[in-house]
């Protein structure tokens, strides 16, 4: 099968990906220590580090939103239910039978339908929910006798549940993401692409033949 080397992940995209990953893992580490699940930095230091990392993540997200809007890369994450079932079958069964991917990656389409749906939920629901609930934590004050200092809330229980649930969802996503990273052409091909920006993609003419055949078969199965 003919392949070509394509520059698919730009410099800021790679910087944003790795920095966000490191910040989320650090937030998870300090967050679990704040909850008393582990002991590493000490409670007070963990709280301070957690808040600093949270602000760093917010700044990174602001720059990432600006970059996605100005480059048009936001279109990569527009979700679609088309062929989602096909990809679910692929990841549950087909990948273990060494079946080809139902579609091929390109510069204009880096994510498959299932990935688009997952990342859309991550960026629109989970991460915003984590940030908003986290900011409530930071600026929360018990009702004051002489006025409002920041945010007066009857209880942090619901906020705590939302924040903790989001943390476990992010952790689950990270585990699945690390596994799927190893399912490229080789175990390290996806990792290498996100480090260098270059990836080996199949030639377009051959891709179209493969895609049409695989998707057509999937359509027939779904209609059946």
DSSP string, the chain: --EEEEE-S-HHHHHHHHHHHHHHHHHHHHHHHHTTS--SS-HHHHHHHHHHHHHHHHHHHHHHHHHHHHHSGGGGG----TTHHHHHHHHHTGGGGTPPPSS---SS--S-HHHHHHHHHIIIIIHHHHHHHHHHHHHEEPPPTTS-SSEE-S-SHHHHHHHHHHHHHHHHHHHHHHHHHTTSSSTTHHHHHHHHSEEEEE-HHHHHHHHHHHHHHHHHHHH-
Percent of the chain with pLDDT over 90: 38
Q: What is the pTM of this model?
A: 0.78
136 band by pLDDT with thresholds 50, 70 and 90: confident
Residue 23, pLDDT score: 95
- Determine the average pLDDT of the residues in 165-189: 88
Q: Is the pLDDT at 210 greater than 60, yes or no?
A: no
pLDDT range class, residue 173, cuts 50, 70, 90? very high
Q: What CATH number is given for 3-223 in this structure? A: 1.20.950.20
> Taking all residues of the chain, what is their mean pLDDT, rounded to a whole number?
82
Q: What is the pLDDT of residues 13-67, one digit of tens each?
A: 999 999 999 999 999 999 999 988 888 999 999 999 999 999 999 999 999 999 9
pLDDT in tens, 161-172: 899 999 999 999
Q: In the chain, where are the structural domains located?
A: 3-223
Residue 4 confidence class, pLDDT cut points 50, 70, 90:
confident
How far is 206 from 152, CA to CA, in rounded Å?
61
């Amino acid at each position: 099968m003919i392949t070509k080397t394509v520059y698919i992940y730009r410099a800021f995209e790679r910087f944003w990906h790795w920095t966000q990953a490191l910040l989320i893992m650090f937030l998870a580490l300090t967050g679990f220590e704040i909850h008393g699940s582990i002991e590493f930095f000490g409670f007070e230091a963990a709280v301070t580090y957690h808040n600093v990392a949270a602000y760093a993540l917010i700044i990174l997200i602001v720059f990432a939103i600006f970059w996605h809007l100005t480059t048009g890369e936001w279109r990569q994450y527009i979700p679609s239910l088309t062929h989602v079932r096909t990809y679910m079958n692929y990841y549950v069964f087909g990948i273990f039978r060494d079946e080809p991917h139902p579609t091929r990656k390109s510069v204009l389409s880096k994510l498959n339908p299932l990935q688009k749906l997952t990342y859309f939920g991550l960026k629109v629901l989970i991460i915003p929910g984590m940030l908003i609930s986290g900011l409530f934590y930071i600026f929360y004050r018990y009702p004051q006798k002489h006025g409002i200092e920041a945010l007066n809330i009857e209880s942090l229980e619901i906020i705590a549940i939302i924040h903790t649930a989001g943390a476990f969802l992010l952790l689950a996503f990270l585990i699945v993401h690390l596994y799927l990273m190893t399912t490229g052409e080789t175990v390290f091909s996806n990792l290498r692409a996100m480090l260098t920006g270059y990836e080996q993609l199949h030639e377009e003419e051959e891709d179209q033949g493969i895609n049409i055949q695989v998707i057509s078969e999937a359509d027939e199965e779904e209609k059946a």
